[in-house]
Structure 1
């Protein structure tokens, strides 16, 4: 049972009962649709000859006008001593500004094609009741990000792209997956058996980079109805970075209800699975908290009977 005496149900079950299946999975469905959408955009050219977008997530051109480039790759190029062309720099700046405004790790939850793989591993991990396993420090991904830039500098190469599973999957879908399936399987097994939510939460330097980019982003999740929280813990169970929840949900008095940690992926799962609608998307300047209506503690007077 929870602290309120409520019987604990599997995460999301109470939300499905209250809000229906779609209401309890709305943002999950939208995220999967978004991930498929971006993949299809890049694959329409090589698969169907519809070249709205040319390239991959590493670098592309949309409608032969709009350049978009991965700023982390550009950073590695410059560290390696290769100065990008002006078009590439403009494309990188566009992406950098966009993710700085909407939340850097939105890339991880709404765009990255590896996210469904790690989510599937977490789902199976919970279904099988596997132990938590080894958990490297979350700072490890930042150290790895720094290492990537140092290696690029020393070797004159774009170091991370040699092993980046995102780039490999994109190229594999065009030219044939082959051994790329092995890389995808390795990420899946790592999250399933070695470290729960290990790849995205503790290892991936791309996620570390975008968390730095979105540190002051406008889009935020707010626990604006935290007074209605019944301590069911469903939000903690589904959040890929559940350490970000408590400062907002458990803040007292005038403490901000906003989840301000740059590690939040803005995936919206906490909004989905909360049956009492504690969480909502908002902007970083919205600090208001909704006070839940107080239960009527007064006893209705009994009807007077005639003498």
Structure 2
């Protein structure tokens, strides 16, 4: 599954780069719109498999660790839940304003790609996913109501925290009292990384699994 996910991600990144180079960013917005609608049923699969920003964040995170650039804490100015929504309006203003005032189509999506890479050089991927990404803000709402999502079988979970460490979206937390992992579906990218590391096979995708 990991190899398949990477093939899909980098294929999507290549398609994204082609559309941006051709000045057809609106076509990619159509791809996102389809992913947004699908997330009400399948969860945030767009983030886990299709998002080009997620694709460039992986090498950025690897480089950050190699160069020891990554900082452990989220900047205080990003802690507000309002910021990603404000970023949505800023993104729309750049797209519409550039076309109407400057008579050019600003490469807003390409700029976001660069922002994702730079932010991940210095902070954990979850900072961009949960605190900055305008697409992530919208998908966090639809993902909350997803019909299917990753979930934890509490009867077999041993609270080892391996899934928590594997999740780049910080969607999994082991509760201090129950010592059981809980997945927040509004943040979960449905990437299955948690499934791969679970020693007791306690994590599964499906509608019958209790999710938060």
Per-residue CA deviations over 1:77-107 (Å, capped at 9, x if unaligned) read xxxxxxxxxxxxxxxxx5543221111x321
Q: Distance in 2 between matches of 1:147 and 1:242?
A: 21
Gaps in structure 2 of 5+ consecutive residues: 99-104
Q: Distance in 2 between matches of 1:201 and 1:131?
A: 17
2:29 to 43, 58, 62: 58
**Is 2:46 the partner of 1:38?**
no
The count of residues paired between Structure 1 and Structure 2 equals 200
TM-score between both structures, scaled by the size of structure 2? 0.70
Residues 227-242 of structure 1: matches in 2 within 5 Å? Answer: 227-229=156-158, 231=160, 233-242=161-170
Q: Distance in 2 between matches of 1:184 and 1:260?
A: 25
TM-score between both structures, scaled by the size of structure 1? 0.51
Residues 126-275 of structure 1: matches in 2 within 5 Å? Answer: 126-130=65-69, 132-136=71-75, 140=80, 142-146=82-86, 148-149=88-89, 152=92, 157=96, 162=106, 164=108, 167-168=109-110, 184=113, 187-193=116-122, 195-197=123-125, 198-224=127-153, 227-229=156-158, 231=160, 233-247=161-175, 251=178, 259-275=183-199
Per-residue CA deviations over 1:174-217 (Å, capped at 9, x if unaligned) read xxxxxx7xx75553332122x22232232111111111122110
Q: 1:207 to 1:280 in 2, by over 3 A?
A: same
Q: 1:117 to 1:140 in 2, by over 3 A?
A: farther
Per-residue CA deviations over 1:221-259 (Å, capped at 9, x if unaligned) read 12216535262x322222112253325x9747xx9x762
Larger radius of gyration: 1
Q: 1:149 to 1:123 in 2, by over 3 A?
A: same
Measured on the aligned residues, the alpha-carbon RMSD in Å equals 4.0
Q: 1:230 to 1:209 in 2, by over 3 A?
A: closer
Q: Distance in 2 between matches of 1:286 and 1:190?
A: 34
Q: Distance in 2 between matches of 1:163 and 1:55?
A: 11
Q: Distance in 2 between matches of 1:115 and 1:214?
A: 17
Gaps in structure 1 of 5+ consecutive residues: 1-25, 48-53, 60-67, 72-93, 169-179, 289-307
